Amino acid sequence: MDPWQITAITFICAFCLVLTLLCYFLLCGTLRLNQERNPLMKSSESQPLIESTDDTESQTDKGYLSVKCSNLKEDDKCTNTKCLKIKQESIQIVNEVEYSLGSLKEEKGIVLNSVWDSYLKNEADISLPEAEHLDISESADSLHVRLSQNTQGQDNWPCITGAALSPGRSHYWEVEVGEKSSWAIGVASESKRESKCIPDTPEGGFWIIRLCKGKSLEAVSNKVITLQNEKPRKVGVYLNGNYMSFYNTEVKQRIQRFEIKQSQTLYPVFSPGLHDRGPLIIKKNEHNTDLMNL
């Protein structure tokens, strides 16, 4: 090849290389200038406001996205798929937590407020006859039952029964026992309605809970069961069908539950205990009390 031809080719290649480099630097300068004019372009492209859906996203991602969603306009928030998913998941988590708390309360015998309100709608109107062996007095909102001087001995619990509870209905009544060292509350069968005392040894016909010597809380039917509950100051009794439950009303927690299998008329029974002059205070039905005050 002629030397002049080689020289010409070399010159043309060098010229093309210089032209290519010049175009490259011009392009880089243009891109840098655009980025300086639009500083948010890079961040918005590299990190979208709402990330792609991923079922394995962490709780941190959910929190980040929730904050991002809260900063969107209301219209965007309602139409954004990611936000709607987070909202649904949040609702599900809240429901699961509430269900777990409800189950935990139920295991501990704690009654929900809505259920407790249904108990109160079935308040029984307790009335007591006069008794020679007990002092019974009445106030505007309660009945008071105390020991009289002629108690029947330390092995028997003086008691009194109220009017029959209507079968087929639910009944609730409440008794304040305060700091009394002994008391017994529950129901008695038809055969025991005339009893003036509850025997210390169970023989059937009574379904009660009682406090002995200020310490031992017991459930008594045809046997005695020692209860581990903290001694209550106020006791609620709820009779529903063949089931009767006792509650510590201050914390709305169940103390004991009996199943009364035989169908029979039942009577509320109250004993102020042994050697304790403090009264049992039986709450009156508020509805009936309001009617009396009209």
pLDDT tens-digit map of 197-209: 888 877 789 999 9
Q: Please list, in sequence order, all residues whose beta carbon lies within 8 angstroms of the beta carbon of residue 46, skipping any fewer than 6 positions away.
A: none
Q: For the chain, first and last CA: distance in Å?
A: 130
Quick one: pLDDT at residue 7?
Answer: 62
Lowest mean pLDDT among 27-36, 83-92, 238-247, 278-287: 27-36
Closest C-alpha to 155, from 197, 200, 187, 123? 200
- Going by pLDDT thresholds of 50, 70 and 90, the confidence category of residue 66 is very low
Select from 3.40.640.10, 3.40.50.300, 3.40.50.1370, 2.60.120.920 the CATH code of 116-293.
2.60.120.920
Cα 166 from Cα 241, distance rounded (Å): 11
When pLDDT is cut at 50, 70 and 90, the band that residue 222 belongs to is confident
Within the chain, all domains assigned CATH 2.60.120.920 are found at: 116-293
pLDDT for 47 equals 37
User: Are 239 and 164 within 8 A, CB to CB?
Assistant: no
| Lowest-pLDDT choice from 31-40, 78-87, 234-243, 259-268 | 31-40
Rounded to whole angstroms, the Cα distance separating 182 from 273 reads 5
Mean pLDDT (the chain, rounded): 74
